[in-house]
Amino acid sequence: MERKALYAGSFDPLTNGHLNIIERAAKMYDSLTVAIAINPHKTGFFTVEERVQIAKEVTKHIPNVKVDTFEGLLADYVNENGFIAYVRGLRATTDFENELQMAQMNARLFTGETETIFLMTDPQYSFISSSLIKEVASLGGSVEGLIAPYTSERIKEKLSK
Protein backbone atom coordinates (compact mmCIF):
# COMPACT_ATOMS: atom_id res chain seq x y z
CA MET A 1 0.00 0.00 0.00
CA GLU A 2 1.28 3.46 -0.92
CA ARG A 3 2.33 5.41 2.18
CA LYS A 4 0.93 8.85 1.37
CA ALA A 5 1.58 11.98 3.40
CA LEU A 6 0.13 15.48 3.27
CA TYR A 7 1.67 18.91 3.84
CA ALA A 8 -0.98 21.65 3.76
CA GLY A 9 -0.99 25.41 4.09
CA SER A 10 -1.82 28.71 2.43
CA PHE A 11 1.60 28.82 0.73
CA ASP A 12 1.13 32.45 -0.33
CA PRO A 13 3.84 31.94 -1.49
CA LEU A 14 5.75 28.75 -0.73
CA THR A 15 9.09 29.70 0.88
CA ASN A 16 12.41 27.91 1.32
CA GLY A 17 11.28 27.12 4.87
CA HIS A 18 8.33 25.18 3.45
CA LEU A 19 10.58 23.63 0.82
CA ASN A 20 12.96 22.38 3.50
CA ILE A 21 10.05 20.59 5.25
CA ILE A 22 8.85 19.22 1.88
CA GLU A 23 12.27 17.84 0.91
CA ARG A 24 12.69 16.11 4.27
CA ALA A 25 9.13 14.75 4.47
CA ALA A 26 9.24 13.46 0.88
CA LYS A 27 12.10 11.15 1.91
CA MET A 28 9.96 9.64 4.67
CA TYR A 29 6.93 8.61 2.61
CA ASP A 30 6.17 7.11 -0.80
CA SER A 31 4.45 10.31 -1.84
CA LEU A 32 3.91 13.76 -0.37
CA THR A 33 1.00 15.93 -1.44
CA VAL A 34 1.49 19.66 -1.00
CA ALA A 35 -2.08 20.94 -0.71
CA ILE A 36 -2.96 24.59 -0.96
CA ALA A 37 -5.94 25.56 1.18
CA ILE A 38 -8.57 27.57 -0.65
CA ASN A 39 -10.11 30.15 1.66
CA PRO A 40 -12.99 31.87 -0.16
CA HIS A 41 -13.11 34.58 2.55
CA LYS A 42 -9.47 35.60 2.16
CA THR A 43 -7.90 37.33 -0.80
CA GLY A 44 -4.29 36.28 -1.11
CA PHE A 45 -1.38 38.09 -2.69
CA PHE A 46 -1.18 35.28 -5.26
CA THR A 47 -4.28 33.58 -6.63
CA VAL A 48 -4.67 29.88 -5.85
CA GLU A 49 -3.70 29.07 -9.46
CA GLU A 50 -0.52 31.14 -9.14
CA ARG A 51 0.35 29.45 -5.82
CA VAL A 52 -0.11 26.04 -7.44
CA GLN A 53 2.15 27.08 -10.31
CA ILE A 54 4.86 28.29 -7.90
CA ALA A 55 4.58 25.15 -5.74
CA LYS A 56 4.89 22.92 -8.84
CA GLU A 57 7.87 24.84 -10.16
CA VAL A 58 9.86 24.88 -6.91
CA THR A 59 9.19 21.21 -6.08
CA LYS A 60 9.73 19.84 -9.60
CA HIS A 61 13.09 18.29 -8.58
CA ILE A 62 11.34 16.01 -6.06
CA PRO A 63 9.72 13.17 -8.01
CA ASN A 64 7.30 11.96 -5.32
CA VAL A 65 5.77 15.39 -4.61
CA LYS A 66 2.31 16.22 -5.94
CA VAL A 67 0.58 19.60 -5.72
CA ASP A 68 -3.14 19.84 -5.08
CA THR A 69 -5.75 22.20 -3.59
CA PHE A 70 -8.54 21.64 -1.11
CA GLU A 71 -11.43 23.65 0.27
CA GLY A 72 -13.22 23.25 3.57
CA LEU A 73 -12.22 21.00 6.42
CA LEU A 74 -8.70 19.63 6.23
CA ALA A 75 -9.82 16.43 7.97
CA ASP A 76 -12.38 15.76 5.20
CA TYR A 77 -9.63 16.05 2.59
CA VAL A 78 -7.40 13.72 4.65
CA ASN A 79 -10.17 11.17 5.17
CA GLU A 80 -11.13 11.17 1.47
CA ASN A 81 -7.53 10.67 0.32
CA GLY A 82 -6.19 8.13 2.82
CA PHE A 83 -3.08 10.00 3.95
CA ILE A 84 -1.26 8.15 6.72
CA ALA A 85 0.51 11.30 7.90
CA TYR A 86 -0.22 15.00 8.09
CA VAL A 87 3.12 16.80 8.23
CA ARG A 88 3.56 20.13 10.02
CA GLY A 89 6.66 22.26 10.49
CA LEU A 90 7.43 23.82 13.87
CA ARG A 91 9.44 27.02 13.70
CA ALA A 92 9.56 28.09 17.33
CA THR A 93 7.82 27.52 20.65
CA THR A 94 5.29 30.18 19.62
CA ASP A 95 3.96 27.76 16.98
CA PHE A 96 3.45 25.02 19.54
CA GLU A 97 0.17 25.95 21.22
CA ASN A 98 -1.71 26.53 18.01
CA GLU A 99 -0.27 23.35 16.50
CA LEU A 100 -1.23 21.34 19.57
CA GLN A 101 -4.81 22.62 19.34
CA MET A 102 -5.07 21.84 15.65
CA ALA A 103 -3.47 18.40 16.01
CA GLN A 104 -5.84 17.46 18.81
CA MET A 105 -8.90 18.72 16.95
CA ASN A 106 -7.81 16.98 13.76
CA ALA A 107 -7.20 13.75 15.70
CA ARG A 108 -10.91 13.74 16.61
CA LEU A 109 -11.90 14.39 13.01
CA PHE A 110 -9.62 11.91 11.26
CA THR A 111 -11.60 8.75 10.70
CA GLY A 112 -8.59 6.60 9.84
CA GLU A 113 -5.27 6.27 11.59
CA THR A 114 -3.68 9.46 10.23
CA GLU A 115 -1.02 10.89 12.53
CA THR A 116 0.06 14.53 12.65
CA ILE A 117 3.84 14.49 12.35
CA PHE A 118 5.99 17.48 13.34
CA LEU A 119 9.32 18.33 11.77
CA MET A 120 11.46 21.07 13.30
CA THR A 121 12.07 23.84 10.81
CA ASP A 122 15.71 24.25 9.85
CA PRO A 123 17.04 27.12 12.05
CA GLN A 124 18.00 29.21 9.02
CA TYR A 125 14.28 29.51 8.20
CA SER A 126 12.77 29.64 11.69
CA PHE A 127 12.08 33.40 11.54
CA ILE A 128 10.32 33.55 8.17
CA SER A 129 6.70 33.51 7.17
CA SER A 130 5.05 34.14 3.83
CA SER A 131 3.73 37.52 5.08
CA LEU A 132 7.17 38.67 6.20
CA ILE A 133 8.66 37.72 2.83
CA LYS A 134 5.96 39.70 1.00
CA GLU A 135 6.37 42.71 3.29
CA VAL A 136 10.16 42.87 2.94
CA ALA A 137 10.04 42.23 -0.82
CA SER A 138 7.36 44.86 -1.41
CA LEU A 139 9.45 47.45 0.47
CA GLY A 140 12.50 46.67 -1.62
CA GLY A 141 14.41 44.52 0.88
CA SER A 142 16.35 41.44 -0.08
CA VAL A 143 14.71 38.05 0.43
CA GLU A 144 17.48 36.20 -1.37
CA GLY A 145 17.95 32.69 -0.06
CA LEU A 146 14.56 32.69 1.64
CA ILE A 147 12.49 31.99 -1.47
CA ALA A 148 13.31 30.40 -4.81
CA PRO A 149 14.57 32.76 -7.56
CA TYR A 150 11.44 31.80 -9.57
CA THR A 151 9.19 32.94 -6.70
CA SER A 152 11.16 36.13 -6.32
CA GLU A 153 10.57 36.90 -10.01
CA ARG A 154 6.84 36.19 -9.61
CA ILE A 155 6.64 38.57 -6.63
CA LYS A 156 8.45 41.32 -8.58
CA GLU A 157 6.14 40.75 -11.56
CA LYS A 158 3.06 40.99 -9.34
CA LEU A 159 4.29 44.13 -7.56
CA SER A 160 5.02 45.87 -10.84
CA LYS A 161 1.39 45.49 -12.00
Binding site for ligand COA (CB under 6 A): 8-10, 12, 15, 17-18, 21, 37, 73-75, 89, 91, 102, 105-106, 121, 125, 128-131
Q: Which is nearer to ligand COA, 49 or 92 (CB)?
A: 92
CB of 99 to ligand COA, least distance (A): 7
Give the shortest CB-81-to-ligand COA separation in angstroms: 14
The answer to whether the Cα torsion of 80, 46, 149, 147 is positive or negative is negative
Which amino acid would we find at residue 119? L
Is the link from the previous residue into 63 a cis peptide, with omega within 30 of 0?
no
Strand blocks (E) in the chain: 4-9, 31-38, 65-71, 85-90, 115-120
Cα separation of the two ends of the chain? 47
Identity of the residue, 9 or 48, whose beta carbon is nearer to ligand COA in the bound complex: 9
Residue 130: active-site member: yes
- Which of residues 29 and 45 has its CB atom nearest to ligand COA in the complex? 45
Annotated catalytic residue: which of 4, 51, 130, 154?
130
Amino acid at the residue 127: F
Whether 91 is catalytic is: yes
In the complex, least distance from residue 112 CB atom to ligand COA, rounded to whole angstroms: 16
Q: Rounded to the nearest whole angstrom, what is the least distance from the CB of residue 70 to ligand COA in the complex?
A: 8
Active site residue 10: no
Q: Which is nearer to ligand COA, 1 or 26 (by Cβ)? A: 26
Cα-based distances in Å from 110 to 51, 81, 90, 104, 160: 26, 11, 21, 10, 43
* Nearest by Cα to 29 from 78, 60, 54, 66: 66
Q: Is 42 a catalytic residue?
A: yes
Query: Looking at 18, 88, 134, 154, which residue is catalytic?
Result: 18
**How many Cβ atoms sit within 10 Å of the Cβ of residue 90?**
15
Catalytic residue among 42, 61, 108, 161: 42
Hey, which residues are catalytic here?
A: 18, 42, 91, 130
